[in-house]
Amino acid sequence: MEADHKAAAGPAVHLAARAGAVSLVRCEDYDIDHLRAAVRDLLAPLGGMASFVRPGERIGLKPNIIMPATPDRAICTHPLLVAAVALAIREAGGYPVVVESPGAGIVPLKSVMVGVFRRAGYREVADRYDFELSYETEWDVISHPDGRQARRVELLRSYLNCDGLINMSKFKTHTFQVLSGATKNLFGLIPGLTKVGYHAKLPEPKLFGDMLLDVAGLARPRLNIVDGILAMEGQGPSTKGTSRKMDFLLASEDAIAADLACCAIAGIDPVAVPYLAAARDRGMWRGRPEDAVTAVGRPFSEFAVKDFAMPGKYLDRGGLGRAQWIADRPRSFMRSGFQPRPRPKVGPCTVCGACAQACPGKAIEMDKKTRVAVVEDEKCIQCFCCHEVCPNAAIELEFTGLGRLVHGMGLV
């Protein structure tokens, strides 16, 4: 049944001082007192939390809880940062509630969500600092006439029942979209297993990225905060990624501006990020990325790194196999090996079935005899959902054929 979209759809409480304004502050740990001070400093150039919350409003907090992982692994938005923002919302007179649906392979049931929140450290922190965790898993179908790839979107009812949304993403790499930032995080408002259908319908990275813009446009968060204190590089966004201390928090009213700033810090070509490339095509940013965002706190250069490790499929501007023309080739060309393929490994694989449940192409079966998941390459759409949801880091992404040759030569 389709429903009216009233939650969080109203305008922001105040007008932005400058388009593309991004605030950055240094924060070196997750001590709650340090976090509360950092959040105050972070939001001060944007008008403070009172600019985003009216007294009496129910404010949704959307973290990135892709799977039940402890905070030290840098997979999820740290629960103590969520607590610091929740306390700021209470000071502004609002009522904070965490709304989330984890990754594509996690069944959206209340009993499952109870376990996810507990194992990710959210239950303990929510009890200590008195904010609500929503276990509601029902959703409504929302009409989106302006959507290009998604004209009807399933959105969590827990989000729809809020007056506004604060988006709290983790700064991570992503094997399918290169970057998992503020824009990508809003895909988590779509209930767990429903996400699989979006991957199946939109297997090409840029088409999927275009859909992410539709979801972000429908969600319309009032504020986007990025947890970059303990970030993730390499084969993110889950168990195969590597944690890295980056010691910053970032905030912007504009999710695209937040993600462009993340690219500037990590040295990522934003055109290699499918959803940012799609955003440029839509005219959401123009020219050089540094011209599309404005630092209103500390400068981006203070946090920039030169050796940030990208996922294996990252495509930049230089060299055979890294040029953007390869990223835009048809999937039949990419199947020649220029993109890696998921390979479950005997030993780490426990044939739990999470990968098969998350697979949009129904390309994975459990081989009980050899005790390893088996991927059928011809059905694999290379969305890497299996790699993302595997709780045991048992799936490697490997190049094959011609791709293995040029990758071995350092050309991919």
Question: Residue 393 burial by CB count (10 A; 0-12/13-18/19+): exposed, middle or buried?
Answer: middle
Residue at token pair 């504009």: 254
pTM for the structure as a whole? 0.87
Instruction: Report whether CATH 3.30.70.20 matches the domain 324-408.
Output: yes
The one-letter amino acid code at 9 reads A
> Residue 333's pLDDT is what?
47
Write down the domain spans for the chain.
Answer: 2-302, 324-408
3 state SS of 252: strand
CB-based contact 158:99 (threshold 8 Å): yes
The domain defined by 2-302 folds into Rossmann fold (3.40.50)
CB-based contact 157:172 (threshold 8 Å): no
The pLDDT tens digits along the chain (412 residues) read: 566 675 444 333 333 345 699 999 999 999 999 999 999 999 999 999 999 999 999 999 999 999 999 999 999 999 999 999 999 999 999 999 999 999 867 777 899 999 999 999 999 999 999 999 999 999 999 999 999 999 999 999 999 999 999 999 999 999 999 999 999 999 999 998 888 899 999 999 999 999 999 999 999 999 999 999 999 999 999 999 999 999 999 999 999 999 999 999 999 999 999 999 999 999 999 877 778 899 998 999 999 999 999 997 665 443 333 444 444 555 554 445 556 788 999 999 999 998 998 898 898 999 888 899 999 988 888 888 888 788 888 888 887 655 555 445 544 4
CA–centroid distance for 399 within its chain: 25
- pLDDT tens digits for 33-81? 999 999 999 999 999 999 999 999 999 999 999 999 999 999 999 999 9
Beta strands in 289-385 (DSSP E): 294-295, 341-344, 364-367, 372-375
> Residue 182's pLDDT is what?
98
Element (H, E) at 58: strand 58-62
